[in-house]
Structure 1
Amino acid sequence: MVFDQVNGLPVHALVLHAAVVFVPLLALGAIVYALVTLWRPKIGWALGLLAVIAPISALVAKLSGTELYNRLIDEERVSPAGRAILDQHMDYGSMTAWISIALGVVSLVLVALTWRNPRALPRVADLAFAVVIVVLAGLSAYYVFKTGDSGATAVWGSY
């Protein structure tokens, strides 16, 4: 119930934009941090904050979206076509949350390992982190887009 409503407004409508902003910022920051070692001392603190805030915002958006979905279904306010769109939106939102959590964890590990010395990692480990971060960042950007697009279709589409 915590994630359902605030003063009659769906929490989901209030918090989803945080994930839309913070998850792509995490993706971009993680890529820069992984690939540009000279910038690590300057942006490590920001990446550390984003690695915590972005997954939390995605998780809160997912949990509040689940509450909104359940209320709409219980009140029978969704057509069968609308339900299919919402089901897909829920799947995309779940993937966004999980991938942003993974990207946040990997980013925090990289920051922790390179905090005092940006070049502390062996070249192979640095390259491995870069590959994993680029893949996770790409996936997180893709799923944020797909989640937002399917959510906008659910709200504004004619179905």
Structure 2
Amino acid sequence: MFDQVNGLPVHALVLHAAVVFVPLLALGAIVYALVAKWRPKIEWAVVALAVVAPITTFVTRESGEKLFDRLAAQGMKAGQNLNDHMHFGSVTFWFTLALGVVTLAQVVLVRRGALPKIVEWVLSAVMIVLAVIAVYYVYRTGDSGAHAVWGQS
């Protein structure tokens, strides 16, 4: 399932979804956390991104592992850039999942209307921190992947 589609590595096909959806989730979460009057207008998009972004990072990570296994079976040796890339991809998944969960929790609690301000502020701060970290790791993952495939120059 995560290996190939019509002979193409799934990883090459899905990684771009994670590169788009994780920063969009981060942006949506930050706006949702900071601009209360926009919450009703962007709520549906933030909820959708909180579900889709972690799924795309999971599929990207799993398909990358399948691609690595196939290439290793063909005799390819993993260099430091590839090891870094795989590590950063796993970290990206976990931070994106955490951001998605916290974002969904914030939306649900805000909709209920009984959220104490201090809890709202804490959740907002956590969302912002997770958003920044998730985007940072998307960058690190992509950069190390590009170096692993295309080299340093």
- Whether these two folds match at TM > 0.5 is yes
Q: TM-score when scaled to structure 1?
A: 0.92
Please give the per-residue CA displacement for 1:119-155, whole angstroms capped at 9, x wherever unaligned: x422211110111011100110110000000011111
Query: Out of 109, 113, 117, which is 2:109 matched to?
Result: 113
| Structure 2 residue 126 is matched with structure 1 residue 155 | no
Please show how residues 40-119 of structure 1 align to structure 2 within 5 Å. 40-78=39-77, 82-115=78-111, 117=113
The residue that corresponds to 1:24 in the other structure is: 23
Of 69-78 and 53-62, more deviation after overlay is shown by: 69-78
Provide the alpha-carbon RMSD of the alignment: 1.4
| 1:45-89 CA distance string (max 9 Å, x none) | 1000000000000000000000001111111133xxx52211110
Unaligned 5+ residue runs, structure 1? none
Structure 2 regions of 5+ residues with no counterpart? none
Aligned-residue sequence identity (percent) comes to: 58
Count residues in correspondence. Answer: 153
User: Which amino acid is 1:48 matched to?
Assistant: V
Inter-CA distance 135–158: structure 2 relative to 1 (3 Å threshold):
closer
Runs of 4+ in 1 over 3 A off after TM superposition: none
Contact 1:41 1:115 in 2 (8 A): no
Cα distance in 1, alignment partners of residues 65 and 134 from structure 2 = 20
In the TM superposition, residue 158 of structure 1 has moved relative to its aligned partner by 5.3
Cα gap change, 1:34 to 1:158, in 2 (>3 Å):
closer
Cα deviation, residue 115, structure 1:
2.3
- Relative to 1, partners in 2 of residues 1:32 and 1:158: Cα closer, same or farther, differing over 3 Å? closer
Matched, 1:140 2:128: no
Q: Distance in 2 between matches of 1:158 and 1:38?
A: 46
